[in-house]
Amino acid sequence: QLQLVESGGGLVQPGGSLRLSCTASGFTLASFVIGWFRQAPGKEREGVACISSGDGRTNYGDSVKGRFTVSRDYARNMVYLQMNSLKPEDIAVYYCAADVRDYFCSGPIIEEYDYWGQGTQVTVSS
């Protein structure tokens, strides 16, 4: 069973940065499309970013384009979400997820993801 674990959430001031990490034990994340999602209180879960297996192609939600960057660290078996210029509207629980059926990411689209982490809280406040 693929188990994903997120880390790196916390409290940051508006305009600040955080880097979230996603890892898994016993599985090579580079083999899977990895997506990042978030869910704010009272709102539906939305796709933030994803990275393809193989060529590392990335895709981003409109609300984070130009501010967030998803990347892989193959040596550490990690996927990162670098979040810059954070805003109060970025407050949410952030999840990483794995799509084990595809090679390329799009969206990301929630229904395409098979395995999910437990999430990490990101709070943006002064």
**CA 1 – CA 115 distance, rounded (Å):** 9
> For the segment 30-67, what is each residue's pLDDT rounded down to a tens digit?
999 999 999 999 999 999 999 999 888 999 999 999 99
Helices (H), 1-105: none
CA end-to-end span of the chain: 40
Closest C-alpha among 31, 12, 35, 13 to residue 22: 35
> For the segment 58-98, what is each residue's pLDDT rounded down to a tens digit?
999 999 999 999 999 999 999 999 999 999 999 999 999 99
Q: For 50, which DSSP code?
A: E
